[in-house]
C-alpha cells in the first residue's frame, strides 16, 4: 500500500472514530439508547454491570477480530483492531457535550453520528463493529443466507433483550437509532449518486447506443443476445443489448430517449450496490 493511501485511510478511520464516539457520548448513552451489533451488546452489558463501556467495546470485539484475521486477512484485522482500540480510547479519554435530552433527536442524530463513523471506517478498510465480520462469514458458509439477514436476526435478539432490560420505550427509540445509523452507513458508502443499471433490448440498439453516448454523454456496454419467442414470432433473432449505469436523476431522461427511438423497447432497471472502475461520471459534451 502506498504511503499516501495509508494516510488517507488512517485519516478517514480517525474521523469515523470521533463521529461514532460523538454519537455514543454526545447522544445515546445519557438516554440509555443502544444501537445494534457489538456496540449495542456492549451498552447493554455496561448498563447492568460496573464494567466501563470503553473496555467492553474492545473485549467483546476481540473474537470477531480474530475471525477477521483468520478469514479476511491480516491487513483488514490490523486496521480493524486499531480502529476499535481507537474508539475505546476515545470513549475513555475524550469529553463530548451532552447535546440534547429530547428523545427523538437523541435517537435520530445519535444514529446519524454513529452510522457516519461506521461508514467512514469501512471506507478506510476497517470496521468499528465486529458483527459485520461474523455476518459475512456466516453468510459465506450458509450461502443461501445473506449478510443483511444475519445482522437482522442478531439485532432482533439484541433489541428484544433491550426491551426487557431497558424498557419498551427505550428499545423502540433504539430501533429508530439503528435505522438512522443504517441509512447513514448506506449514504456514506454509496453516496448521493446511487447508481442504477439499465438494460435495453431493442431492434434499434445502434440508434439507442448513439443517442445515449452522444446526447447524454453516458458510456454503454453492448453485448450480443438472441431474441426468444415473442409477439413478433421471431425465434433466435440476433440482437444487440445495451447496458448502461446512471444516477437516479438521469433515469427518466434515458428512458424517455430510448422510448422516443423505439416505443417497443424492453427496458430493465436494477439497483447497484457498488461499482468499481469504468467511466461512471457523465462526460461533458460540447
CA distances from 86 to 54, 91, 100, 105, 115 (A): 10, 9, 25, 26, 17
Q: What are phi and psi of 163, to 5 degrees?
A: -60, -35
pLDDT at 218 (0 to 100): 78
Given this model, what pLDDT does residue 279 score?
A: 54
pLDDT for the residue 192: 55
C-alpha R_g of the chain: 24
pLDDT of residue 226: 74
Predicted local confidence at residue 284, as pLDDT? 44
264 φ/ψ angles, rounded to the nearest 5 degrees:
-95, 5
Nearest-angstrom CA–CA distance, 73 and 52: 30
Q: What is the pLDDT of residue 15?
A: 96
Please tell me the predicted confidence (pLDDT) of residue 145: 52
pLDDT of residue 46: 92
Q: Is 123 exposed, middle or buried (0-12, 13-18, 19+ CB in 10 A)?
A: middle
Q: Going from the N-terminus, what domains does the chain have, and what CATH number goes with each? A: 3-190 (no CATH), 195-271 (3.30.70.120)
pTM (predicted TM-score)? 0.72
pLDDT at 140: 58
Q: Give the pLDDT of the chain (286 residues) as one tens digit per residue.
A: 577 888 988 999 999 999 999 999 999 998 889 988 899 999 999 988 999 999 999 999 999 899 888 877 888 889 999 999 999 999 999 999 989 889 999 999 999 999 999 989 988 888 898 887 776 666 556 555 555 566 777 888 889 998 998 889 999 999 999 999 988 888 887 665 567 889 998 888 889 888 888 887 778 888 887 766 655 555 667 788 889 888 776 788 888 889 999 988 889 988 776 566 555 555 444 4
Residues in the chain: 286
Amino acid at each position: 500500500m502506498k504511503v499516501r493511501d495509508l494516510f488517507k485511510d488512517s485519516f478517514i478511520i480517525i474521523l469515523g472514530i470521533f463521529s461514532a464516539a460523538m454519537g455514543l457520548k454526545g447522544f445515546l448513552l445519557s438516554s440509555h439508547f443502544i444501537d445494534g451489533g457489538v456496540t449495542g451488546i456492549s451498552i447493554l452489558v455496561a448498563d447492568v454491570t460496573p464494567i466501563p463501556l470503553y473496555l467492553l467495546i474492545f473485549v467483546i470485539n476481540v473474537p470477531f477480530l480474530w475471525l477477521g484475521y483468520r478469514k479476511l486477512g491480516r491487513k483488514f484485522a490490523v486496521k480493524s483492531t486499531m480502529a476499535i482500540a481507537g474508539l475505546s480510547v476515545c470513549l475513555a479519554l475524550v469529553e463530548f457535550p451532552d447535546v440534547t435530552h429530547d428523545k427523538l433527536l437523541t435517537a435520530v442524530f445519535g444514529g446519524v453520528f454513529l452510522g457516519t463513523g461506521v461508514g467512514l471506517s469501512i471506507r478506510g478498510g476497517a470496521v468499528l463493529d465486529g458483527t459485520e465480520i461474523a455476518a459475512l462469514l456466516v453468510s459465506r458458509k450458509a450461502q443461501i443466507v445473506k449478510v443483511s439477514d444475519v445482522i437482522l436476526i442478531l439485532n432482533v435478539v439484541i433489541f428484544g433483550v433491550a426491551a426487557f432490560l431497558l424498557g419498551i420505550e427505550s428499545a423502540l427509540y433504539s430501533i429508530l437509532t439503528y435505522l438512522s445509523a443504517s441509512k447513514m452507513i448506506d449514504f456514506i458508502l454509496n453516496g448521493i449518486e446511487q447508481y442504477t443499471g439499465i438494460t435495453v433490448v431493442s431492434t434499434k440498439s445502434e440508434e439507442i447506443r448513439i443517442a445515449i453516448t452522444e446526447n447524454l454523454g453516458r458510456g454503454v456496454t453492448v453485448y450480443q443476445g438472441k431474441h426468444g419467442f415473442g409477439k413478433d414470432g421471431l425465434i433466435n433473432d440476433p440482437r444487440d443489448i445495451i447496458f448502461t449505469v446512471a444516477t437516479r436523476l438521469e433515469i427518466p431522461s434515458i428512458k424517455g430517449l430510448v422510448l422516443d427511438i423505439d416505443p417497443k423497447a424492453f427496458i430493465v432497471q436494477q439497483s447497484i450496490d457498488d461499482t468499481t472502475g469504468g467511466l461512471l461520471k457523465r462526460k461533458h459534451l460540447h
